[in-house]
Amino acid sequence: MATPRHFLDLDLVSTVTLRQLLTFAGAVKIRGEQNSWHPLVGKTLAMIFERPSTRTRVSFEVAMYQLGGRTVVLESEGTQLGRGETVADTARVLSRYVDAIMLRTSGAEKLQEMARHATVPVINGLTDVSHPCQVMADVMTFEERRGPIRGKTVAWSGDGNNMVVSWIHAAVQFAFALRIATPQSLRPPQSVVDWAKGQGASITLLDKADVAATGADCVATDTWVSMGDELLPASSRRNLLAPYQVDERVMRFAKPDAVFMHCLPAHRGEEVTDEVIDGPSSVVWDEAENRLHVQKAILHWCLMGKLDVAGSG
């Protein structure tokens, strides 16, 4: 039996393949609603949600539908996973029913265990450690607006969370500079930073949002209090992260044509102001839309084993 083609993290997929995924996503986006190409007819994706979701759930469900496939949605409290069945046993059973599994969970170890025991592709819909599908959509969005991301500078301001880890992976794969402004206590894992630097990536850890944003081509952030942040009270996190809010002053340090990104949902008045997220630099709605197109590319690659852009045109 062939080894399943998983999509778990950006550092586990070759740069060539990631580039092909972005090209494919762009091609299917151009085709849009007129798409009569249904390569996934007869295919079923199981989507397991142990954490709430809007964009991940809708984009995967619509992507499968538009490609001719179908989905089965499983909430953790409605499955035996929520009653003590092991991840390994769940993976083995689902592999007998469906063609791929998307998992959105708190623990990265669950994703890894699912992938080890499934005989069908497993896709990372988000863990506490990383969010690769989102950052693929972010790179796609940047390149639509500003051209190749290679050699550009992305500034992150806020919590050093799972989004930052995937941005670090992307900095290695797509060869752009990444500046990360976070409080000392909320910096991304040093092991990930060291790995990226060992790969030749330009990763800079900073203490101030305006310093990170200076001359940047993109400024990005995320919510200050994410699902599962129990180590620090929400009020303490907000106080700690208040200096990292992306407002008009911070954006003025970036290049005049810099874009603002946020994976959503946004807490307006906390990590970003209304003036920025609703302003001319904001591309957050394009990011959200591009989740759909990137998801199509990932699903096609996982299930069909090739990315025939011509076949999608």
The residues carrying an active-site annotation are 104, 131, 134, 222, 263, 291
* Among the listed residues 73, 68, 29, the one whose alpha carbon sits nearest the alpha carbon of residue 289: 29
Which class for 78: exposed (0-12), middle (13-18), buried (19 or more C-beta within 10 A)? exposed
Residue 198 has which token pair?
């060992």
- Residue 262 has phi, psi (to 5 degrees) of -155, 130
